[in-house]
Structure 1
């Protein structure tokens, strides 16, 4: 007994894209009020509001333009020039000191930080608590 597979040729397919309801400046955290569904599909654009809400814009997104995943990222928790804790752990050695953030970023971003004691610049990853982990 065979299986019948029905295929509708020419049937309308509904697809939606998310678009900006207003101009969203860079570093704006997206809320539901910033988004609108467009009835046309834009290849690569987000379609689910849950994928955008709570994220921060990396670039300015103009009203009516589609929301693309590469234009969004985690919200920054470290601002440029902020004093942060620098943590270094390697082979049983732990060093904790203060540094000045030279970049801004969110959890997991790698930024440059100036060690306030030695005045040297190091790179590290931002952790959930806003401290910077420096690895060898």
Structure 2
């Protein structure tokens, strides 16, 4: 059974038992950010699921989320700064030299996450780290 709780109440009384996991109160589409009004508790213990709603606020749903199902760590991630198929600055840094080219992102990524990018000049695929500005840095 889902207990409807507002996050404001949770901050003061974050007393969850080991058998409670965080769920959404309404369907949330992939790509949407989660806030306190989206979250509640599910009286169920699930492996790899969140127990504290404060750990989920501000994250982005990577898959569609439904009420009555626990939110697992693989279901959410950092907000997207690089989207799949977007043309992004590809920055190579080596020994004080910086080269910036264009690349096509082959997957989505949040800030600080690894992302595969195809160099549009050479057609080679490299892996770099997404920055907050939407660039990908390869060292």
Q: TM-score, structure 1 length as denominator?
A: 0.76
Shift of 1:23: 2.0
* 1:63 has 2:70 as partner: no
Is this contact kept in 2: 1:78–1:130, CA < 8 A? yes
> Once structures 1 and 2 are overlaid, which stretch shifts more, 61-70 or 51-60?
61-70
Shift of 1:37: 2.5
Is this contact kept in 2: 1:22–1:64, CA < 8 A? no
Is this contact kept in 1: 2:46–2:70, CA < 8 A? no
What residue number does 2:45 align with? 42
Shift of 1:120: 2.4
Shift of 1:14: 6.1
* Count of residue pairs brought into register by the alignment: 122
Alignment of 1:53-132 (within 5 A): 53-132=57-136
Is this contact kept in 2: 1:59–1:71, CA < 8 A? yes
* 1:28 has 2:32 as partner: yes
Residues 75-131 of structure 1: CA deviation (Å, up to 9, x unaligned): 111111212111111123221112121211111222221222223222211012211
Distance change in 2, residues 1:22/1:14 (3 Å): closer
- Greater percentage in helix: 2
Q: Any gaps of 5 or more consecutive residues in structure 1?
A: 1-12
Is this contact kept in 2: 1:17–1:41, CA < 8 A? yes
Q: Any gaps of 5 or more consecutive residues in structure 2?
A: 1-14
Distance change in 2, residues 1:96/1:14 (3 Å): closer
Shift of 1:41: 4.6
SS at match of 1:70: helix
What residue number does 1:10 align with? none
Shift of 1:132: 0.4
Q: What is the CA–CA distance in structure 2 between the aligned matches of 1:14 and 1:87, rounded to whole Å?
A: 45
C-alpha RMSD over aligned residues: 2.1
Shift of 1:26: 2.5
